Amino acid sequence: MKNSVIKGLILLFLGWCILPLLSLLFIAQIKEKYQMIFLFFVIFLVSILLFLTIRHLKRRVLAPISILVNETRRISKGNLAKPIRYDRKDEIGKLISAFDHMRDELYAQQREHLQFEVDRKQFIESISHDLKTPISSISAYIEALQDGIAQTKSEEKEYFRVIQSKIHLLNELSQQLSLSYQTSDSAPIHIERVDCHEWSQSFLQDVSMDCHAKDIEIETSYDDSSSDRTYMDIDIHQLERALQNILDNAYRYTKEVLELSVTNKDDLLFITIKNDGAEIKDGSLEQIFQRFYTNNQHNAEGHLGLGLFIAKTLITAMKGHLEATIQKDVITFTVSIPLNH
C-alpha cells in the first residue's frame, strides 16, 4: 500500500535495527582516531532517524487520532451535520472514513427523528382541530334539541340527520387514523378474485348515484377491449376505500370538470379520475401522497391530509399503481390494477 502507516513504521523500525548494527561493525574496523568522528556522524544519523520517527508518528498517527477525538466530542453534542475531512487512504484513513459513515448514518436518523417530531406535532394539531369541529357541532345540535328549538318533526329529523353525518365523519376519521401508519406490506388486505366487468359496472353506478345525491355532475365511461372474461385479485373493500378517498378529494375541489372512466386494456384495469380546481403546482405534485399533506391548514371540514396517502398505500399493497398528473388546474389520478384471465 503506497500510503500505508504500517509500511512507514516498518521502514523506520528496520532503520533503528540496522543502522546501529552497521555502525558498530564499521567502528570496529576503522582506525581509533576516526572512531570518534564516525561516532558523532552516527549520532547525527540517529538524531535524524529519531526526528523522522517522531514526525511520522505525529502526522500519520497522533494527528488523525486527535481529529477523531475532536469529532467524537462534537458528535456527542449532537452536531452531526459536518463531515469529517481526512484525505489519506491509509489504515487510519479507512478508520476515519468508517467513523464518518457512522456519523452520516446517525445524521440521517437524526433528520428522520426531527421529521417524525414535526409530523407528530402536525398530527396532534390536526387531530385536535378535526375532532373538535364535528364534536362541537354534535354538542350544539343536541343542546338545541334539548332546548326544544326544533318546532316540527321535519326540523327535528333534519337535526338528527346532521348529527348522524357528523358521527359518520368521526367514524371515517377513526378509520383513516387506523390506516395512517400502515405500509403497503402491513396494510390489512384480504385478497379475493373479482369479476372485472361486474365490479366496474357496479362501481360506476354507485359513484353516479352518490354524485346525484350530492348534486354533483359527473361524466362516467367504461371501455372493455378484452374479449375474454377478466378477473382482479383484490380486496374490494380496501380498493373502494382507496378510490373513495380520491373521489372525496375530487368532490372538494371540482368546479366544472369531474370525469370517471374505467378501461380494460393490456391485462390492466385503468381507473381514471379527473377534476378541475386543483391548487397545486406540478413541481410539488408528489407531495399530495405524503402523510398529513393538505393545501389548507385551517380547514373546517375534518381533513387530516391522509386520504391520498392511504389510497396509494392500499393500492400498492394490492400490486396496483397510483399516479397523478396535472395540467393547468386539471388533475388526473390513474389507478392501474393487474388482471387475470
For residue range 258-279, what is the model confidence (pLDDT) as tens digits? 999 999 988 899 999 999 988 7
Other beta carbons within 10 angstroms of residue 5's beta carbon come to 19
Asked if pLDDT for residue 49 goes beyond 50, the answer is: yes
Q: Is the pLDDT of residue 301 over 50?
A: no
Answer with the residue of higher pLDDT: 290 or 198. 198
pLDDT higher than 80, residue 119? no
Please, which contacts does 121-128 make with residues 24 or more away whose CB atoms are closer than 8 Å?
122/292, 123/180, 123/292, 123/304, 126/292, 126/304, 126/305, 127/177, 127/304
What end-to-end distance do the CA atoms of the chain give, in Å? 62
DSSP letter, residue 235: -
Distance CA 86, CA 64 (A): 8
Least confident of 31-40, 112-121, 133-142, 176-185: 31-40
Mean pLDDT of 30-46: 61
- Confidence class of residue 13 from pLDDT cuts 50, 70 and 90? low
Give residue 1's pLDDT band: very low, low, confident or very high (50, 70, 90). very low
pLDDT, tens digit, 9 for 90 and up, residues 104-113:
888 888 888 8
Confidence of residue 296 (pLDDT cuts 50, 70, 90): low
User: What is the pLDDT confidence band of residue 162, given thresholds at 50, 70 and 90?
Assistant: confident
pLDDT category, 222, cuts 50, 70, 90? very high
Q: What is the pLDDT of residue 153?
A: 80
C-alpha to C-alpha distance for 300 and 318, rounded to whole angstroms = 33
C-alpha cell at 308: 391520498
Q: Cell 451535520, residue? A: 81
Give CA–CA dist 121/301, Å, rounded. Answer: 20
Check if the beta carbon of residue 340 is closer than 8 Å to that of residue 269. no
Distances, alpha carbon 206 to alpha carbons 22, 57, 176, 214, 260, in Å: 101, 80, 21, 12, 12
Mean of all residue pLDDT scores within the chain: 79
Considering only 81-95, 149-163, 281-295, which range has the smallest mean pLDDT? 281-295
